[in-house]
Amino acid sequence: MGQTIPVRFRLMTLDDVEWVGELERLAFPTPWPTDAFVNELTINKHARYVVAEVEGQVIAYCGMWLLVDEAHITNVAVHPHYRGRGIGERLMRQMMGLALLQGGEKMTLEVRPSNHSARRLYKKLGFMEHGIRRKYYTDNDEDAIIMWVNLREQEN
């Protein structure tokens, strides 16, 4: 693992949308358009987004929808130059804590079977595999593994 660097976590604002859009394009074969993030921040009352900054630059982000007591991770990405430094784990822990603070009891997400590093991270965070969504990813028809965690059981 790379060295620990000072990272600031904060709620995403409209000023971050362009940076987040760039991270989407770097991370995903079918990225969300930037206007989707504008809608998430301005219209979707269930959406919560957090960014990670290094020296004032957004280098990672994560989004979730909080529906009653369930948090659903919509997307998470770390800039390629900052991967392997624990930022994704710290970001996910931020989201888990935010979900708990706002009434979340459980958290779910989908992950590609081929994304071994993400699957390892989610298992480290207490997520367990609970099903498959067939042909979930439209870029290659890859299935998605559905993972869940009980947030109260993961509190330290």
Residue closest to 80 by CA, chosen among 136, 25, 132 = 25
Catalytic residue among 49, 61, 82, 122: 122
122 flagged as catalytic: yes
Closest by CA position to 48, among listed 26, 21, 70, 19 = 70
Catalytic residue among 22, 70, 89, 110: 110
- What's the half-sphere exposure (Cβ side, CA atoms, 13 Å) at 120? 7
Surface-to-core class of residue 146, CB atoms within 10 Å of its CB (0-12 exposed, 13-18 middle, 19+ buried):
middle
Residues 6+ apart with CB under 8 A from 112: 118, 137, 142, 144, 145
Whether 137 is a known active-site residue: answer no
Spatial separation of the C-alpha atoms in residues 61 and 51, rounded to whole Å = 4
Structure tokens at 105: 């009891």
Q: Which residues are catalytic?
A: 110, 122
